[in-house]
Structure 1
Amino acid sequence: MTNRIRQLPAQLVNQIAAGEVVERPASVAKELIENSLDAGADRIEIDAERGGIKLLRVRDNGEGIAREDLALALRRHATSKIAEVADLQSIATLGFRGEALPSIASVSRLELSSRHRDADQAWCIRGDGSDQPGEPVPASHPVGTTVQVRDLFYNTPARRKFLRTDKTELSHLEQLVRRVALARCDVRFRLTHNGRLLFDLSPVAGEGGTAGNRLKELVGAGFPEHALTLDQTAVGMRLHGWVASPGFSRSQSDLQFFYVNGRMVRDKLVAHAVRLAYQDVLHQGRHPAYVLYLELPPVLVDINVHPAKHEVRFREGRQVHDFIFRALHRRLAEGRTQAGPAPAEAPPVATGMPDLGSARSMPEDPGPRQRPMPLRVAEGPDRYRSDFESQRPGSSRDADTGQENGADAGLPPLGYALAQLQGVYILAQAVDGLVIVDMHAAHERIGYERLKRSWEEGAIRGQPLLVPVMVQVAPWEADLAESNLELFRRLGVGLDRMGEGSLVVREIPALLQGADAERLLRDLLSDFAVHGRSERIREEINGVLATLACHRSVRANRRLEPEEMNALLRDLERTERADQCNHGRPTWIKLSGQELDRLFLRGR
């Protein structure tokens, strides 16, 4: 006979709930800090001992809790942030479940002290996880709240065994505070561990102050130096913040901070949109770095899908995905060198590669030889020659002061070529320093973008297979394919359904001739099932185009004339995603005048 159904004791219920909310000291800190922010605090102090296992104290200067509400604060599902079902549709606070404090109290020794802003007296209450906490007692405390959590998991040894070393737990705690501090730059955060101050972050006003202060302190000085600012608005949504240029990619995803309406989240849809935007400019296996804030009406996002509120669900997921992708894709395409669209008089190139007709091969070149591969020059050679001549010593800089005069005022972003180094690099003088360009990487990116434009203008053409390929799939996959036949056709894939779980591939994109048709179909079905769309064909085609661009770009030990080098610089300025080649390598770097002065100890 099975056991009878029984009501669980309140403390056991709270401990079960704690398993959903409390994983480690950092998760306790997250809940307490979010409560402080919801209370309107602009100063939050976090003190920890032994990584937060022995002690975690969070003190704020928020509005505080009234005496009559202290006992309610330690009961399950008691909250001041929602009152009825309709409130769940537009939650604007970080916390709302009313589970955090009782859950934490059930697995620790918790003490809650608070003074409401309208009260003359502070009160303190201790929790043990039951539904009947003790009575509040008078306490000495300024306006605000302090929650002190001691001996985490002291009464649940099995859970305590899963905690890591003090150093590891402190690392998680630091990362948590860092993430919250990046979301609320108007709040002062102070973190100490075992009595030692780890950081004290003063509040900063506006996003400009954030970039210069919080980013450097919390993400590192390298990120702001490589960050591209972003601020895009569309369809009632706003995406703003900073994305690092692809050259600042990471081996791990440790510098990825994404916030939805001020809430830090880890979302697969967002991650996919970001990865898609970076796919053309990163080395394989590298991860982008970013600090991004997405703002949209609360009614369009459901934050009540995860007990710890790490995940969200968007009402219009496809629209959010496309907005994030397009905003990032556009900003990365602009890069740091965009000088506007190519001149109208520049004729289109059918093959997507530069015209080949004016370069001169180097006579008696002892190095490797290649067939002529001239660069397209939209302006006449005389234009570049005059600009080049204007940079000769004495023409553009004052010999005594070293300051730029009017001759430099009109220099383009990458300047004008001075020389070619080792048959590999172009040295150019810009307004603010020396630009060094890898001519092969630069030409490769230029050619690749032109090939992509030519391919897109010609649409994706299908190539019938000599022998159709039969693919056995699950019935739901066959249904998915059948309902998207027109979309497959636009991607250059022709197929038919032959049975409940059978599909036959009759056509694949012409540029992917020889590809594994079955693998391609299965990958496409997987993409459609997860994301409702697929960029698989574009990725495969881009891979082929990248190979073509690499083989057709100018090689090392190739001597270029000044007008050819300048033509390459101008084309690079007009090319999207020009800062990296197709393999993620930088196409150019710049040494500022100050950096050059430091190298030669000038001014010391």
Structure 2
Amino acid sequence: MTASEIRELDPQTVERIAAGEVVERPASAVKELIENSIDADASRVTVAVENGGIDGIRVRDDGVGMARGELERAVDEHTTSKIADIDDLESGVATLGFRGEALHAIGAVSRLTITTRPRAGGEATELTVAGGNVTDVRPAGHPSGTTVEVDDLFYNVPARQKYLKQPSTEFDHVNTVTTSYALANPDVAVTLEHDDRETFATTGSGDLQETVMAVYGREVAQAMRTVSGEDIPDGPLDSVRGLVSHPETNRASREYLSTFVNGRYVTASVAREAVVDAYDTQLAPDRYPFAVLFLEVDPATVDVNVHPRKMEVRFADEAAVKKQVEHAVEQALLEEGLVRTSAPRGRSAPDQTEIQPDTTEPETDEPETQQNITSRRDDGPDEPDRQQRTTSRRGDNSETGASTSIEAGPSAAGDSTDTRSQGSSDTEEIASNDTSERDDDRRKFQDTGTQSRLTASTETEQFESLPSMRVLGQYQETYIVAETTDGLVLVDQHAADERINYERLREDFSGETTTQALAEPVELELTAREAELFDSHTDALARLGFRARLVGDRTVEVQTVPTMVAGSAGPALIRDVLSEFVQGRKRAADTVEAAVDDLLADLACYPSITGNTSLTEGSVVDLLARLDSCENPYACPHGRPVVVEFDTEEIENRFERDYPGHQ
């Protein structure tokens, strides 16, 4: 037989290839088994894994169970009680599992034991499978429901076993899957255990916020806002409901953006993008909110049979779905006064209302009401004040000289006239804010004065690495526009400042790690996922300069931080670092050394100039000069481009200046 000869694979090889598509790692098996439990009408599901699921998985439920004959058929390939034929598949699948391949696929690459007893009555049965072959079927003692135990996963597929990650990484995937199904089914009591220790347990009360508290903690649960999604634009979705977090409660990865389509947990990228877009500029770059969103749609208009793992779905009209989700989330945030209206950015800049510091003490300390928050959101005078506070928190950068002050009218800083005499209710509400916040804002206005717009430079700046350029201005207050001898360049100001800060941090970190003790230990509440990661990486955190300890199931006490983050990110960065240990953005970061670079890239983002920030001519030149001195001025530490060039030939081609007869 020659290498090029076409031949039929033997059944055993086909079986293992197919099983590999369904079961990629322990979390894949957990996902399939949880889906079976929920489809079996379970009110309680317990997931227990050993060594991240590498050494063992057990999923137990109190569902309808199976009789002996049903159990024997269940482990055969493509046997299911959930669909009958192609018509069921085409009309839309209502159950989580439907292909009839989960138990067969898991049994093909492990030693599988299933013990089950029908809820309707009858004897319990235990069946064992090894490498796809049933080895024993016998009576057993078991309450109604089903227990599935998976041992020696991939024992007969060494190639797949070799690519399993560290136990902490594998358990993180198990945790994510189990958490997702717990959130999707608040009426089911879901428990997750790792190495005989409980990670989290939900009550099954049906209360979504209570379920969020069980898996994410009280801090996150209290920050969640309700998305009713009843009044949404026309489109495929019948409704969008759930919870999204306050903008200030966020993380560095999308892991906490949970989307469910007809109760099915999926990574619906179109929905995730819509959620983030709804927050507009209230989220810093590379930060993501918590979300638990349920999308209801006619099953016939969505394809769940896109991928063997059933983690992806295909909508017939993705643009309409995005519009509906974004609208629903935006409305929820607007009702809470958490985002601005969706008027185009910068449209009102030329005629922006004057803002003057309030020098009069408030008459009362009445807290802000929902009505106050809403009126400040909708009316113009207070809008720039909100933007100033948001931008100054993330965008000040003394090293680059970049100004993040607002663009205000000529008398925004110098005129001390009391605007309350004009009868402005907005100014009265500003006066009722916390005194320290008002004083901070007053100092900002007095210090910065009127922001000048960047105008075209008359001089060409000379650089060594970057092309020599003459600065023309800013585009959308986000990109520096400059002319070169060869054409035109755009410089992303945030990406540029990130690169500058990253290389400075990398140089600082190249020596011995220094730490700074906190005056008072800081306590942070972690999610179930973060707490488990912390327990696995305490020593690694210490090597980075974070000395901390768990003082409860979900609370960590931070005593020292790396000196390089003391003035910017602080103790809360531990949450992001924990994620980087498991899933670096550029690679799997399973060691401290591999995580350091990702950490520095994240740290560089915190003090960097943000988009939508007006720059003066001097700060632009200074930024470009610092960028030019970088080892790699053309990419930010996350890999995004910093400089985009358009040469003259390309520009002329786009304008079709070479058409016949043109002189």
- Calculate the TM-score normalised by the size of structure 2: 0.55
CA contact (8 A) 1:226 1:244 kept: yes
How far apart in 2 are the matches of 1:25 and 1:223?
28
- Across the aligned residues of Structure 1 and Structure 2, the Cα RMSD in angstroms comes to 4.3
Structure with higher Rg: it is 1
The answer to whether the aligner puts 1:210 opposite 2:208 as a matched pair is yes
When residues 352 and 203 of structure 1 are mapped into structure 2, their CA distance, relative to the original with a 3 A threshold, is: farther
Q: Distance in 2 between matches of 1:275 and 1:377?
A: 40
* Aligned-residue offset at 1:350: 9.0
Are 2:155 and 1:154 equivalent residues in the alignment? yes
**What is the one-letter code of the residue matched to 1:230?**
V
Letter aligned with residue 228 of structure 1: R
Partners of 1:264 and 1:101 in 2: CA distance: 20
Letter in 2 for 1:381: S
Measure, in 1, the Cα distance between the counterparts of 2:357 and 2:191. Answer: 64
Q: How far is 1:100 from its partner? A: 1.1
Alignment CA distance shift 1:548-1:81 (3 Å): same
The 2-side partners of 1:166 and 1:53 are apart by 7
Is this contact kept in 2: 1:11–1:106, CA < 8 A?
A: no
Counterparts of 2:258 and 2:476, CA distance in 1:
40
Instruction: List per-residue Cα deviations over 1:131-170 (Å, max 9, x = no partner).
Output: x635632121221111111111111111111112223222
Match of 2:97 among 95, 98, 113: 95
1:266 aligned onto 2:267: yes
* Equivalent of 2:421 in 381, 388, 396: 381
1:465 maps to what in 2?
Answer: none
Q: Deviations over 1:167-208 (max 9, x none)?
A: 322222222211111111111122223333333322113xxx
Pairwise CA distance, 1:225? 2.8
Matched, 1:228 2:225: yes
The verdict on how the C-alpha distance between 1:383 and 1:165 changes in structure 2, with shifts beyond 3 A counting, is same
Contact 1:111 1:126 in 2 (8 A): yes
Give the conservation status (yes or no) of the 8 Å contact 2:356–2:417: no
More moved, 188-197 vs 141-150? 188-197
Question: Over residues 349-390 of structure 1, what are the superposed CA-to-partner deviations in whole Å (9 max), with x where a residue is unaligned?
Answer: 8944115799999xxxxxx9x9522899999627579x97xx
User: Residue 308 of structure 1: CA displacement?
Assistant: 0.4
* Aligned twin of 1:424: 440
| Alpha carbons 1:359, 1:372 under 8 Å: kept | no
Alignment correspondent of 1:293: 294
> Structure 1 residues 107 and 351, CA, compared in 2 at 3 Å: closer, same or farther?
same
* Superimposed CA distance per residue, residues 390-429 of structure 1 (whole angstroms, 9 cap, x where no aligned partner): xxxxxxxxxxxxxxxxxxxxxx6x6736857785247xxx
Give the equivalent residue in structure 1 for 2:330.
329
Letter in 2 for 1:190: T
Distance 1:73 1:25 in 2: 20
Q: Is the 8 A contact 1:304 1:312 kept in 2?
A: yes
Counterpart AA for 1:219: Y
Structure 1 residue 277, shift from structure 2 partner: 2.1
Deviation digits for residues 1-42 of structure 1 (CA, Å, limit 9, x no counterpart):
566555434332221112111111111111001001001001
Distance in 2 separating the partners of 1:14 and 1:103: 8
Q: Does 1:372 align with 2:371?
A: no
State the 1:545 CA deviation.
10
Assess if the C-alpha contact under 8 Å between 2:186 and 2:205 holds in 1: yes
Contact 2:412 2:445 in 1 (8 A): no
Which moved further from structure 2: 308-317 or 284-293?
284-293
Amino acid at match of 2:421: P
- SS where residue 164 of structure 1 aligns? coil
For 1:349 and 1:510, how far apart are their aligned partners in 2?
Answer: 13
Q: Indicate the residue corresponding to 1:556 in structure 2.
A: none
Residue segments in structure 1 that go unaligned for 5+ positions in a row: 342-347, 362-367, 389-411, 427-436, 448-508, 521-542, 552-604
Kindly indicate whether structure 1 or structure 2 has the higher relative contact order, using CA contacts under 8 Å at least 6 residues apart: 1
Aligned-pair identity (%): 34
For residue 168 of structure 2, give the secondary structure of its aligned residue in structure 1: helix
Aligned to 2:51: 50
Distance in 1, matches of 2:274 and 2:280, equals 10
Amino acid at match of 2:353: P
Deviations 1:497-517 (A, max 9, x none): xxxxxxxxxxxx999996899
Q: For residue 354 of structure 1, what is the aligned residue in structure 2?
A: 353
Q: For the residues of structure 2 that align with 1:157 and 1:16, how far apart are their CA atoms?
A: 13
- Is the CA contact 2:202–2:215 (under 8 Å) kept in the aligned structure 1? no
* Contact 2:19 2:106 (8 Å CA) reproduced: yes
Question: Following the alignment from structure 1 to structure 2, what is the Cα–Cα distance between the partners of residues 123 and 74?
Answer: 13
Query: Superposed, which structure 2 residues align to 1:238-249 within 5 Å?
Result: 238-249=239-250
2 CA distance for matches of 1:117 and 1:310?
A: 30
The residue type paired with residue 105 of structure 1 is: G
CA distance in 1, matches of 2:434, 2:167: 57
Change (3 A) 1:303 1:422: closer
Q: Render the CA deviation track for 1:441-484: whole Å, top value 9, x for unaligned.
A: 9x99xx9xxxxxxxxxxxxxxxxxxxxxxxxxxxxxxxxxxxxx
In structure 2, give the amino acid aligned to 1:373. Answer: A
* Partner SS state of residue 199, structure 1: strand
Match of 2:72 in 1: 71
Instruction: Work out whether residues 50 and 194 of structure 1, in 8 Å CA contact, stay in contact via their aligned partners in 2.
Output: yes
1:109-188 aligned at under 5 Å gives the runs 109-130=111-132, 133-134=134-135, 136-188=137-189
Question: 1:251: Cα distance to partner?
Answer: 2.1
Residues 381 and 237 (structure 1), Cα distance of their counterparts in 2 relative to 1, 3 Å cut: same
Deviations 1:40-85 (A, max 9, x none): 0011122222222222111111111222222221111111111111
Query: Are residues 339 and 194 of structure 1, via their aligned partners in 2, closer, same or farther at CA, if it must alter by over 3 Å?
Result: closer
> In 2 relative to 1, CA 288–202 (structure 1 residues): closer, same or farther, beyond 3 Å?
closer
